[in-house]
Copies of this chain bind each other. A is one copy, B any other.
Amino acid sequence: MSYFTKLSSPPRVSPQPLSRVIKSDRTRAAILDSAFEFIWSHPFREMTVKSLMNQTGTGRSTFYRYFSDLHEVMEALLEMLQGEIFTAAQPWLTGVGDPVALMHETLDGLVRVCYQRGPFIRAMSDAATTDKRFEDAWKQFLEGFDDAGTARIESDQEQGLIPDFPARPVATSLNILDAYMLIEAFGQRPRKQQEPVRKALARIWVSTLYGSEWAEHKTSTLVRKS
């Protein structure tokens, strides 16, 4: 409803046209709001320009003044989501201390965010199959996690916390596991329960990286220096 409308006029640092361009910002925000709302209760495949503009009061063709197509709207929404998810994943990706505990912290965060934004993330993943440009954007989003995960694994390998194996394919696999399991579980109402999902993911990540002896625990005696 108001998610984007609230932020409709970003702080303008520019010199002259101080509040000259305000109306357009509000319309743009209205379109994003409309898409946000639409996605909450419909699959992405049912989204049309008409369906979005019906909710904004303005005519359909006005849409094209702000976005070149529906996927460009999704791209704008993805940017919003990106920060939220990446933040949730931080503990294990960059944190210091017991890596098993960090792992649980990260998965807790991811499950929480994805539960809350489920249908939204689902829509992103769906939209990625129908447009080359957005497919690339989505892929790049996922690759960000591959890079960060690979770095963390390699760093832990240097410290002897994780056995020596090629880090990237495992990091990629585990990220794909997260992404699509979370989309599957929370992407459509009724959403599944959080607890079994969290536990399954934790078991797989911990067993694979730190050893199955820690799979039942939320902490370990492994410690990360530096």
Contacts and interface: CB of A to CB of B under 8 A. Distances in A.
Contacts of A129: 44-45, 125-126, 129-130
Given A130-B45, A208-B203, A212-B207, A173 B169 contact: no
A141 B181 CA distance: 16
Given A176-B180, A212-B208, A196 B45 contact: no
A103 interface: no
Q: Which range contains the number of A residues in contact with the other chain?
A: 35 or more
A25 to B, nearest CB: 32
Interface in A104-140: 125-126, 129-132
Interface of A: 43-45, 125-126, 129-132, 163, 165-166, 168-170, 172-174, 176-177, 179-181, 184, 196-197, 199-201, 203-204, 207-208, 211-213, 215-216
